[in-house]
Each structure stands twice: as structure tokens, then as C-alpha cells.
Structure 1
């Protein structure tokens, strides 16, 4: 079975073997994270400040209870509240700065990704661009770029912040009572298993949702472009039902994603409830035996409760990361398609002296089973005017598309003034060919810019 370029891209994007996740993550970090390493390091520093101040808040409960309410030391009545205010200010400032940095990086990633996709597509082979529907490309251009931003700007860095916070709070728990901490942390591996399972499911759902988004965009583009034909045959209701079915299918995938994301919070809450119950039971027993003070237990309990907030965050952020990895895989599938029509390594600039054009035994096929031209022999003398006449589909447009190398012939050669066009640079070749298309295209620019299109710096004359 023959596959078009679009089929190859779709297969490459939809296949998501788990063993490729690490390579995909490494490429994502190399191509999208490393260029912003400076800002990300500053953001990580502020995240560390947020994590440290969160743990300090939990630890300060011990002196607040034991020194102020139990021992009733006058000096602590002013010192502890003052320290809490300073810690709160530090935490608020660090949170603000890391948020600004990460949003800036996220928006920059969107812009750079979209420019990169566009630059790649506009330089791609015409055969590739015509084999894949523009709706799918637009979907990747707009939708996947945003998911990639969330993966880098929110998920990866958010995971770092929440992991640091959970680590610091875990240290506080072990400092207060390591035996009680050991009883509680048995729940943590279960949270890790939950995060992993939800992440895998979210990756699949995200891929299916994007596929449906691309199909919807393609269908919308087709019907709106062909609105005259739809009206001529009275198919408004029929096309509306087709769109309704496509939207319903996309909604089905979106709801699957919502259910997967929403599952993270209640499951983590349930595990957190078990951990708190264990802490109260075992900690209460130790307090009754006089081993654990009220201040130490309250500090421990506060650290435990605070720790489950970043753990819940890790569960939800991992789903965002998996969506971003799925988007990255689709974007890389587009970016990895290399043009087949390129300059030869030893290509020279085309030198036009007279302008004679010769087609020698030229053949061309759209794919292996769709021949369009065979054994074309044609000589156009310099200065002459030649008209190609024939029925629709006979290959007139195809023949002319070979001259500026929009396509390359499968056999034979084309010469301009004795020079094989595959042996000259495409810039010099296309700079020597004027194209007047039967399809009218006006760009969203001034009339002057449209007239002078392709001639940078052209004057009014």
C-alpha cells in the first residue's frame, strides 16, 4: 500500500511508543528549554525560595505553639509573628517573579514554535503541502503550540516547584518526628503510581483529541471554501449534520480528557486523607506517651497537609506534561519531514543568455500509480511563444510546474540554455522564471506590495 507524505506524518505522530518518551523529553528540553536556560534558572531559584518559605511556615508552628501558648515566653510573642510576616513577603515576592518569568518563557516558546513551523512549511515541497490538508497544519500551528507552552512553561517548571516544596516539607516532617514521618510516607509511592497511570492515559487522549481537531478544521475549511457548491445543491442541512457529527466526536474525546484530569484531585485527596488519619492516630498515641509535644505534632501535621497540595499539583501537572509531549511529537513529525527538492551540492547559478527551453524524455507521476507525463520531448526556441493545448487533466499544468522545480521529473531532464535545471540553484532558477497563474491570489497587503511581490525594494516605476 502506498503512503502519501501526509499519511507518513499522521502515522509518525499517532504512534507513541512508551520507549520513545525519554528521547522525546530530551529533544523537548534541548530544543525548547535550553535556549531559555538563563530565565529558567532564575525561575528555579525563586521556586526554591517558595519551597523553602513554605517549609519554614510549617516549622514555625512549633515555636508558635510551644513558646507562645504553652511556655508563654514574652519575647516569642513579637519574634514569631515578625518572622512569619517576613517569610510571607519573601514567598509572595518569589512567587510573583517566578510566575512572570515562566509566563514570559511560555509565550516566547509559542512564538518561536509557530515561526519555526511556518518557516519549515513554506520551504517544504509543494507535493507535501498538497498532500496534507491545511486544516491539520493550522491545528498544529495554533493548538499544539499552546500545549507545548503548557508543557515547558507550566508543567516542567511546575513539577520542579512542587517537587521541591514536597521535599522541603518532607524534611520538616522528618525533623519533627522521623518515626511518624516513616508511617506517613508509605502513601507517597501510591501517589507516584497514580500520577504515572493518569499521565499515560492523558497522552493517548490528547493525541486522539488533536486528531479530531485536525479533522474538524479540515472539514470546516472544505465546506466554507466550497460554499457556492453547497448552496447550489441545497446541502446546507446535510453539511451541518456532518459538522455536528464531527464536533460530537471531538467533544467525546475532550470529555475523556476532562475525566482523566479531574480524576487526579479526588484520588490524591483520598490518599491524603489516609495519610492524615495515620498521622493523627500514631502521632496522638506518641503524644499521649509524652514523646511528642503539641507544637511538634501541629508543625508535623501542617507540613503534611501542605505537602499534599504540591502532590496534587504533580498529578495534574503530569497530565499537562503528557499533553505537551503528545503535541511535541506531532510538531516534530512535521518538522522532521525534509524537502526532496533541494539544491545539488555543486549547484551553480543559472546563466540565461537566450532563454531556450528543452524537455528531454520527461516523465512524471503523482505517486507510483498515477502517471501524468510520459516521454515528453519539447523544444522551445528563444523568443518564441508556445501554447500547450489539451483536455483537462492531460498534464499541461504539470508540465509547466516542472520548469521552476515545483516538482522534479521521475525520468528525463529539463534544460535552459543547455543547463540542467537540477544542476543550478533554485533561487537563480525561480528568479529567472515569471509565473502568471490562472488562480488569482491577493495577499492581505497593499496593492503596491501585491504588484511588486517577489521584488524586494522595487520602486514605483
Structure 2
């Protein structure tokens, strides 16, 4: 992950620090509550079923309902805060980008088609928003849940926990490679989307010319070419994204199966209680969901950061500087005269205007058409 890019992106969140801290606090509480079934299961088997504890029989169901009622309220409040902030961020970045583009030199517009710029302002900024939402909403909450579950399984049986975590190094290397490939594919997909937008805009805005010169087939072939390129990129994207879940599930089952065999033997020899064994297995399987989500977030963030890079690449362009010596024209009496006016775009060799002389009389309108 590009740390500098993330830092720059999160600078936009400075005005929302208090709200963010509140949302993160909610995420921490929700994450801890999400891990509560592990100790509850242990207490259920060891205290209720084995020790015949009738008080725990009443207390545990009530506690479970209260905990998940609190969780539901906090999840709703957290989502309202984070999604509200992320959409405000979209509006701010779009406004900043739109205003900045208007101040760029003319040669920028020579090199970038209108449809591509529309894609930057609309699509790429929306992709950025998903980075903020996932990091603040899903990453924090699932990280806390995973850490809490990890704490519980270490508390229950630390040696089993170490055995269970031996699969993590096997998991990280391929996931990291997949994330890098997804970032490249995202860049390519966003560029093709920009080309599609440019093609649609140009074709529809110039529909009279297209029809007049019988260019319908040419325009359709041009659009189809970009469309098929986009399809190829998306198919590769899906292939890399969807491989993570079954790969992770397989590793998880291998780990759990070993613990099931080793732990089951210790239960049969009365070295471990049934409640501890069942709670450990449940906790281990519960870790799969937040771990899968975190890995999916990691790969998706690579895609989102590609959108952020495209947005910041425009925001980093230097605005056109007005040369010194220009005078503001407040009012005039009869005429304005232009003598030997020449102009050419930086990207072109030939002049658009060459030694033009104009006289503009008061109350008259003069247009240069070309």
C-alpha cells in the first residue's frame, strides 16, 4: 500500500476528527461484542450442561440479547457517521477537482478528452470514497473482532492457537501478489472507462456529423473495441478477486482439522473440558469471516488507491499562471482595437491566429469563428 497516498487521502478527514473518533469507538465495541459467542459457548457447556448451573442458564440468554441489541444500535450509528463523512468527502474532492481543472493550461485540454475528464471527476472520485468507507467502517471493526477472537483462543489453549496460526505465512505471499495485480488492472480498467466515456460523449454530441457522413459503423466498432477491452480486464479482475475466499477457506479447514484431531484426543483423555474444546473450534471458525473480509478489503483498497492516484495526478498539475503586465479594462469610450494579435496552442506548431487586427465598436458584437 502506498503510505504517502493514504496519508494524503486522509488529510481530507481532518475536519471530521471528533466524528471519526466516535465511529472508531463504536467499531471497537462492536468488534468485541462480535467475539462474545466464544466465552458464552464455553460457559454454556462447562457451567450449564456439566455443572448444572441454573443461574447461568438464565443469565447467558439475557446477556446475549442485550449484547446484540447494543451491537445493532452501534452498527447503525457507526454506518450513519462513516457513510455521511465519505459522501461529504466525495463532494469536496469533486468540487476541488472541478475548480482546479478550469485553471489548467489550454494544452491540458488538447491532450485530454472531455469524456476522460468526466470519468476522473465522477468515477475516480467515487472509487476513492470506497477506500474511506472500507477502512473506517469494515477494517477497524473486523480487525478488533479478529484480535478479540485471537485473544480468546489464546486464553483457552495457547498451544492450539499457535498451531492454528502456522498457515498465515502461507497465506500472505499470494494475497500480496494478487493485490498488486489488482491495482494494475484497476488502473487499466479506469483508463478504458475514461475512453468509453470520451467515445460516447463525442459520438452523441456529434451525432449529426456521424449520420451525415455515414460513420455509424465506425463509431460502433470504436466503442465495441473499448468495450471488449474493458470486458477482458474485468474478467481478469474477477479471477483474482474470487480466488482469495476459497484459498483462505481451504487453509482454514486444514488448520481446524488438525486442531480437531489433536484437541479431540485431549478431550477424550480428560485433559481439556468439552466447553473449552467446542469454544476453541467455534472461535477458530469465527475468525474466518473477519479475516476473509480484511483480505478482501486489502485487495479492494489497491483498486481504490488507483482511482486516488488518477485524481491526485490532475490536482498536482500546476495551474496556468497569468503573465505580468496584463491590465484590467474597466470601461472604454468608443472602440477597442487589437493590433497584430497572434495565438497558438503549446501542443501545436501552427498558429490559430496570426497577426490579426480587429476594431470592436461600442454596443457591437464581434465573433471569431473557426
CA pair 191-359 structure 1, distance change in 2 beyond 3 A = farther
1:366 aligned onto 2:348? no
CA–CA distance in 1 between the matches of 2:252 and 2:115? 44
Q: What is the CA RMSD across the aligned residues, in angstroms?
A: 2.7
1:337 corresponding residue in structure 2 = 317
2:129 corresponding residue in structure 1 = 149
Larger Rg, first or second structure (1 or 2): 1
| Equivalent in 199, 206, 213 of residue 233 of structure 1 | 213
CA–CA distance in 2 between the matches of 1:196 and 1:39? 32
Question: Residue 137 of structure 1: CA displacement?
Answer: 0.8
| Equivalent in 192, 199, 211 of residue 191 of structure 2 | 211
CA–CA distance in 2 between the matches of 1:349 and 1:236? 48
Residues 337 and 358 in structure 2, CA contact (< 8 A), matched pair in contact too = yes
2:59 corresponding residue in structure 1 = 79
1:132 aligned onto 2:112? yes
Residues 27 and 78 in structure 2, CA contact (< 8 A), matched pair in contact too = yes
CA pair 383-216 structure 1, distance change in 2 beyond 3 A = closer
| Equivalent in 302, 327, 333 of residue 307 of structure 2 | 327
| Equivalent in 227, 239, 253 of residue 247 of structure 1 | 227
Question: Residue 164 of structure 1: CA displacement?
Answer: 1.3
1:457 corresponding residue in structure 2 = none
Question: Residue 38 of structure 1: CA displacement?
Answer: 2.2
Q: Once structures 1 and 2 are overlaid, which stretch shifts more, 351-360 or 186-195?
A: 351-360
1:266 aligned onto 2:255? no
What are the ranges of 5 or more consecutive residues in structure 1 without an aligned counterpart? 1-17, 387-433, 440-461
Question: Residue 340 of structure 1: CA displacement?
Answer: 2.1
1:27 aligned onto 2:35? no
CA–CA distance in 1 between the matches of 2:357 and 2:326? 24
Question: Residue 234 of structure 1: CA displacement?
Answer: 2.3
| Equivalent in 193, 198, 223 of residue 178 of structure 2 | 198
CA pair 217-313 structure 1, distance change in 2 beyond 3 A = same
1:299 aligned onto 2:279? yes
Residues 155 and 320 in structure 1, CA contact (< 8 A), matched pair in contact too = no
Task: State the TM-score, normalizing by the size of structure 1.
Answer: 0.73
Q: How many equivalent residue pairs?
A: 369
CA–CA distance in 1 between the matches of 2:339 and 2:32? 74
1:312 corresponding residue in structure 2 = 292
Give the number of the structure with larger relative contact order, counting CA–CA contacts within 8 Å between residues 6 or more apart.
2
1:66 aligned onto 2:53? no
CA–CA distance in 2 between the matches of 1:358 and 1:118? 32
| 1:367-411 Cα deviation digits (max 9, x unpaired) | 36603179848585x85899xxxxxxxxxxxxxxxxxxxxxxxxx
Q: Once structures 1 and 2 are overlaid, which stretch shifts more, 367-376 or 170-179?
A: 367-376
What are the ranges of 5 or more consecutive residues in structure 2 without an aligned counterpart? none
Question: Residue 198 of structure 1: CA displacement?
Answer: 2.2
SS in structure 2 opposite 1:278? Answer: helix
SS in structure 1 opposite 2:271? Answer: coil
> Any residues of structure 2 matched to 1:368-407 within 5 Å, and which?
370-372=349-351, 376=355
CA–CA distance in 2 between the matches of 1:339 and 1:87? 55
2:22 corresponding residue in structure 1 = 42
| Equivalent in 79, 86, 91 of residue 111 of structure 1 | 91
Question: Residue 138 of structure 1: CA displacement?
Answer: 0.9
Q: Once structures 1 and 2 are overlaid, which stretch shifts more, 46-55 or 369-378?
A: 369-378
| Equivalent in 162, 166, 173 of residue 182 of structure 1 | 162
Residues 153 and 283 in structure 2, CA contact (< 8 A), matched pair in contact too = yes
CA–CA distance in 1 between the matches of 2:83 and 2:363? 59
Task: State the TM-score, normalizing by the size of structure 2.
Answer: 0.90
CA pair 374-227 structure 1, distance change in 2 beyond 3 A = closer
Question: Residue 129 of structure 1: CA displacement?
Answer: 2.6
1:4 corresponding residue in structure 2 = none
Question: Residue 291 of structure 1: CA displacement?
Answer: 2.3
| 1:56-75 Cα deviation digits (max 9, x unpaired) | 22111111111111111121
Residues 82 and 136 in structure 2, CA contact (< 8 A), matched pair in contact too = no
Question: Residue 157 of structure 1: CA displacement?
Answer: 3.6
